[in-house]
C-alpha cells in the first residue's frame, strides 16, 4: 500500500495501491481488487500530448531535458494546466476547464520547463485528490509511458511529490492492464 504508478503518455493516469477502496464517479476515480488491497486510479486529460502541440520532437525533448534545472522545491508558479483541448475529468471534473498554457516563446527550454511543471502539478494534485477521498497515502511512484524516459523530469516530479519516483521495469503504458487481466 502506498506504491503507485503514473503513466505519462498523451494523458496522465494514476494508479495507487490502497488498503481502502475508493470510488468517486464524479471524478472518474475507481478501484480494482488486487488480493487484499485495492488499485485506486484516475486519469487526467492533461499529459504529454501538449508537448507535441508545441512541436517538441523526441530529439529536442532529450536535448533540452538534459539542461532542465531541478529546483529543491519545484512549483508550478505560472499556473500552467497543460490541456490541449477544453475539458478535464480528474483530478477535477470540469467539462469547461480551459487550458492554461504558457506563451509560445523562442526560449524552448523555458517553455518545456513550464509544461513539464504543469503536468507534474496535475500528477501531484491527483495523488492529493485520491488521499482526500480516503486512499492510502502515497509512498513511492513508478513511471510508465513515454515520459518515463526523462530522468530530469523524474527528479522534478520526485521533489514535487515528496516521495521516491523511479522508472518502472516495463514502461509500456498497457503493461499494467495486461498484468491485471492475467490475475483474473
pLDDT averages per 10-residue partition of the chain, 184 residues: 96 97 95 95 97 96 93 90 97 97 92 97 98 98 93 95 92 62 60
Q: Provide the b/e sequence for 7-16 (b: ≥16 CB within 10 Å).
A: bbbbbbbbbb
Q: Can you give the pLDDT at residue 72?
A: 81
Give per-residue pLDDT as tens, 149-163: 999 999 999 999 999
Q: Can you give the pLDDT at residue 56?
A: 96
The answer to whether 83 touches 50, Cβ cutoff 8 Å, is yes
Q: Can you give the pLDDT at residue 176?
A: 62
Q: Can you give the pLDDT at residue 12?
A: 97
Q: Can you give the pLDDT at residue 173?
A: 55
Q: Can you give the pLDDT at residue 182?
A: 61
Indicate the pTM of the whole model: 0.93
Half-sphere exposure of 57 (CA within 13 A, CB side): 1
Whether omega for the bond prior to residue 17 falls within 30 degrees of 0, making it cis, is no
Give per-residue pLDDT as tens, 43-65: 999 999 999 999 999 999 999 99
Amino acid at each position: 500500500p502506498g506504491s503507485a504508478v503514473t503513466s505519462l503518455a498523451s494523458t496522465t493516469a494514476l494508479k495507487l495501491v490502497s488498503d481502502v477502496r475508493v470510488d468517486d464517479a464524479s471524478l472518474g476515480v475507481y478501484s480494482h481488487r488486487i488480493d487484499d488491497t485495492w488499485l485506486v486510479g484516475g486519469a487526467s486529460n492533461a499529459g504529454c500530448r501538449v508537448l507535441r502541440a508545441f512541436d517538441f520532437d523526441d530529439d529536442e525533448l532529450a536535448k533540452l531535458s538534459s539542461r532542465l534545472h531541478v529546483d529543491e522545491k519545484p512549483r508550478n508558479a505560472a499556473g500552467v494546466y497543460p490541456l490541449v483541448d477544453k475539458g478535464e475529468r480528474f483530478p477535477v471534473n470540469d467539462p469547461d476547464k480551459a487550458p492554461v498554457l504558457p506563451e509560445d516563446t523562442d526560449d524552448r527550454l523555458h517553455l518545456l520547463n513550464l509544461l513539464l511543471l504543469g503536468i507534474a502539478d496535475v500528477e501531484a494534485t491527483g495523488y492529493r485528490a485520491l488521499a482526500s477521498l480516503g486512499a492510502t497515502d502515497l509512498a513511492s511512484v513508478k513511471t510508465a509511458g513515454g515520459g518515463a524516459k526523462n530522468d530530469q523530469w523524474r527528479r522534478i516530479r520526485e521533489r514535487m511529490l515528496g516521495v521516491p519516483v523511479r522508472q518502472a521495469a516495463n514502461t509500456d503504458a498497457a503493461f499494467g492492464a495486461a498484468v491485471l487481466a492475467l490475475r483474473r
